[in-house]
Amino acid sequence: MPAPLAYHLTWHTYGSWLPGHERGWVERDTPGIQPPNDGRQAVAQEAMTTEAVTLDEDQRAIVAATIRDHCRIRAWTLHAVHVGSTHVHVVVTADRDPKDVLDQFKSWCSRRLNEKAGVKGRWWVYHGSTKWINDEAYLANAVRYVQERQ
């Protein structure tokens, strides 16, 4: 199988999009987007170990800079990045498995946010989305989405 042109990685801040969410949600090993479920969301909220995270402007800048720096250090091609208050989108070409790339971004961003905050925080959800981009049209659409539709 040929290597993909790039990956579209997306992840959320901790507690910002719980199972049962009103905009739909994804359940492991269940295909498709699941419908809103107030009861499921209440159970998930009760299980949270810290408050939900919303990134402020300075934190968003730290995350974007960390992703750019990590791509430069690793010689990965960063096509697009958008850091919102509750989620991150990255389109990147990298020489490894997309889950590893996602984990590295989340780990390094956590380190930098912890340094700034002076405490160790829980910043991100456990998983994220790793979509493979295998053609130029999809790559162009993913970049446009990240740059213009966020």
Structure tokens at 29: 């090993």
What is the rounded average pLDDT of the residues 27-55? Answer: 85
More confident: 85 or 19: 85
**Rounded to the nearest 5°, which phi and psi values hold at 122?**
-100, 105
What is the tens place of the pLDDT at every residue in 45-82? 888 888 889 999 999 999 999 999 999 999 999 999 99
Band (41; pLDDT cuts 50, 70, 90): confident
Q: Are 79 and 139 in contact (CB under 8 A)?
A: yes
Sketch out the chain's domains with CATH numbers: 6-16+52-148 (3.30.70.1290), 17-51 (no CATH)
Residue 84 clears pLDDT 80, i.e. is over it:
yes
What is the rounded average pLDDT of the residues 17-39? Answer: 81
What is the tens place of the pLDDT at every residue in 98-125? 999 999 999 999 999 999 999 898 999 9
Measure the CA–CA gap between 55 and 79, rounded to whole angstroms.
22
Give which of 127, 81, 101 is closest to 3, Cα–Cα.
101
Measure the CA–CA gap between 45 and 51, rounded to whole angstroms.
9
State the chain's mean pLDDT as an integer: 92
Band (97; pLDDT cuts 50, 70, 90): very high
